[in-house]
């Protein structure tokens, strides 16, 4: 995995629609070389996001009153909420890279961060004909702890990852997450059996992505 230093933007809770607007602006600036490669770390209020291929049968019961928003990233249904660290990655790909290559890198960087936190983790290859297993899984308990959905436009990536830190995991059970009906979603706090805060996790994730210079 090659070295790739990123500029860090750190926010707390940002509405999903507002985040998408700013992400689009950041991507445009990166395409024009007005911005360095950047990772934006933040969280969202409760929302389900769906990709273009998400079946309607995977959506949550509306009685839970959590908005469902269609997005431009790849992948299936994902849940966002407080206690989850979202990382939007605005990165110019090399001439020999595709977005799938970068997703593999993101998986390995998240595995490194989780290892530092004391949560053994791994990535998985997708068997032919199966739903994509993109993301990060716990090695000992066989649970999914991070989801990844990305796209690229004019050589620059957008969207990114969602790492469950210490949020409520029940909303994951109210829909079919990641196109995997049997998936057991977990969090850093659940795996460690201890209180874990975003303030503890965020610097470790930033370091894993070689993000040291913070801007607003």
Domain for residue 117, yes or no? yes
Q: Is residue 164's pLDDT more than 60? A: yes
8 A C-beta contact, residue 51 and residue 81: no
Q: Which two tokens stand for residue 36?
A: 């360095």
pLDDT of residue 152: 95
Catalytic one among 23, 162, 175, 178? Answer: 178
144 alpha-carbon distance from chain centroid: 12
Q: Please report the DSSP string for 41-78 in residue order.
A: EEE-SSEEEE-TT--GGGSPPGGG---EEE-SSSSS-E
Measured from the Cβ of residue 22, the count of other Cβ atoms closer than 10 Å reads 15
Residue 1 lies in a domain: no
Question: Residue 157 belongs to what domain range?
Answer: 6-215
Q: What is the CATH number of the domain that holds 16?
A: 3.30.930.10
Contact between 6 and 213 (Cβ < 8 Å): no
Among 63-67, 130-134, 183-187, 210-214, the range scoring the smallest mean pLDDT is 130-134
Count of structural domains, the chain: 1
pLDDT level of residue 108 (50, 70, 90 thresholds): very high
Sheet holding 211-215, edge to edge: 121-122, 136-138, 144-153, 156-164, 84-90, 38-43, 6-13, 211-215
DSSP symbol at 132: P
The structure tokens listed for 177 are: 């997450």
Per the domain annotation, does 162 fall within a domain? Answer: yes
136 domain residue, yes or no: yes
Residue 80 lies in a domain: yes
Residue 130 has pLDDT above 70, yes or no: no
> What mean pLDDT comes out for the span 152-163?
96
Domain annotation covers residue 43:
yes
- How confident is the model over 21-32, as a mean pLDDT? 97
For this structure, is 178 an active site residue?
A: yes
CA distances from 40 to 43, 122, 156, 166, 180 (A): 10, 23, 15, 19, 27
Position 216 pLDDT exceeds 60: no
In a domain, 175, yes or no: yes
What spatial distance separates the first Cα and last Cα of the chain, rounded to whole Å? 28
Query: How many whole angstroms separate alpha carbon 88 and alpha carbon 210?
Result: 14
Q: What is the mean pLDDT of residues 190-196?
A: 93
Q: Which residues pair with 47 in a beta bridge?
A: 80
pTM to 2 decimal places = 0.94
């Amino acid at each position: 995995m090659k070295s790739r230093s990123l500029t860090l933007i750190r926010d707390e809770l940002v509405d999903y629609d507002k985040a998408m607007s700013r992400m689009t602006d950041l991507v445009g600036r990166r395409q024009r070389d007005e911005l360095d490669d950047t990772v934006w770390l933040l969280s969202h209020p409760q929302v389900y996001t769906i990709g273009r291929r998400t079946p309607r049968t995977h959506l949550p019961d509306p009685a839970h009153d959590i908005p469902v928003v269609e997005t431009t990233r790849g992948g299936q249904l994902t849940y966002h909420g407080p206690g989850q660290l979202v990382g939007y990655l605005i990165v110019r790909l090399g001439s020999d890279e595709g977005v799938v290559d970068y997703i593999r890198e993101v998986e390995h960087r998240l595995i490194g961060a989780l290892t530092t936190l004391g949560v053994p983790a791994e990535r998985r290859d997708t068997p032919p004909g199966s739903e994509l297993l993109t993301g990060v899984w716990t090695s000992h308990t066989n649970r999914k702890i991070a989801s990844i959905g990305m796209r690229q436009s004019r050589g620059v990536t957008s969207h990114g990852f969602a790492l469950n830190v210490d949020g409520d995991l029940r909303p994951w059970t109210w829909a079919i997450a990641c196109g995997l009906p049997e998936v057991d979603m977990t969090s850093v706090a659940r795996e460690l059996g201890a209180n874990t805060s975003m303030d503890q996790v965020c610097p470790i994730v930033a370091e894993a992505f070689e993000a040291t210079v913070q801007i607003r």
